């Protein structure tokens, strides 16, 4: 009477487990090739491992059909999660690329505007914006102010405002980090020119009232 060892014979139950036979043979072949063991010896060694015991339980256990179904469901869930993570990664990379392109476009637009304004300053725009001296202002001082701004424009210098201080930097040396300081300096200049315009309008109204 043949003595049974409790281990499955070659060819038995291969179709009962979910791909266990194919995966098992693949592992056995790899182990036999790596260690030089015979396939039978490699099989015994694999079956003595925790993974081997789980494969046997999955294939020959009383709930093998349920286990196989659960294994397939787990496999489907893992594949879905992997695809979901891959989609999220693609969306993240696309968002980063769009953000990078938007920053580059904003920077290029900023540089073009700075170069355009520099040409206007070279052409004497500040003197035209300053207009006539206000009451109490020195015409000579106003002229020096306009001349100094034009000299700076000819040298390619632009104003930066940081921590309440005004600094000057060459337009070709500007970086993206300089944008806030450059915007702050422009805002200060625009506010000052508007205040001058308001004062001039008020002075004209007072003069008109006195002459009426």
Sequence ranges of the domains in the chain? 20-61, 96-211
Q: What is the pTM of this model?
A: 0.54
Other CB atoms within 10 Å distance of the CB of residue 12: 12
Per-residue pLDDT of the chain (212 residues; tens, 9 = 90+): 444 444 444 444 443 443 444 444 555 455 455 554 555 666 666 667 776 666 666 666 655 666 667 777 888 888 889 999 999 999 999 999 999 999 999 999 999 999 999 999 999 888 888 888 888 888 898 889 889 999 999 999 999 998 889 999 999 999 999 999 999 999 999 898 888 888 877 777 776 666 66
Alpha-carbon separation of residue 108 from 102, 113, 129, 194 (angstroms): 10, 9, 27, 28
Residues 6+ away with beta carbon under 8 Å from 115? 171
Separation of alpha carbons 56 and 20, rounded Å: 9
């Amino acid at each position: 009477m043949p003595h049974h060892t409790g281990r499955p014979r070659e060819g038995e139950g291969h179709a009962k487990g979910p791909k266990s036979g194919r995966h098992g043979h693949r592992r056995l072949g790899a182990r036999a090739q790596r260690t030089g063991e015979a396939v039978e010896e490699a099989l015994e060694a694999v079956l003595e491992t925790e993974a081997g015991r789980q494969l046997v339980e999955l294939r020959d256990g009383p709930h093998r059909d349920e286990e196989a179904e659960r294994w397939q469901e787990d496999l489907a869930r893992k594949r879905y999660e992997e695809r979901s993570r891959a989609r999220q990664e693609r969306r993240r990379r696309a968002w980063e690329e769009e953000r990078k392109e938007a920053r580059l476009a904003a920077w290029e637009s900023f540089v073009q505007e700075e170069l355009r304004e520099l040409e206007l300053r070279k052409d004497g725009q500040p003197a035209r914006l300053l207009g006539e001296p206000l009451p109490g202002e020195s015409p000579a001082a106003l002229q020096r102010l306009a001349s100094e701004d034009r000299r700076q424009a000819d040298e390619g210098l632009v104003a930066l405002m940081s921590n309440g201080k005004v600094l000057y930097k060459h337009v070709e040396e500007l970086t993206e980090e300089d944008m806030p300081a450059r915007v702050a300096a422009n805002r200060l200049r625009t506010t000052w020119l508007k205040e001058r315009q308001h004062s001039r309008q008020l002075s004209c109204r007072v003069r008109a009232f006195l002459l009426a």
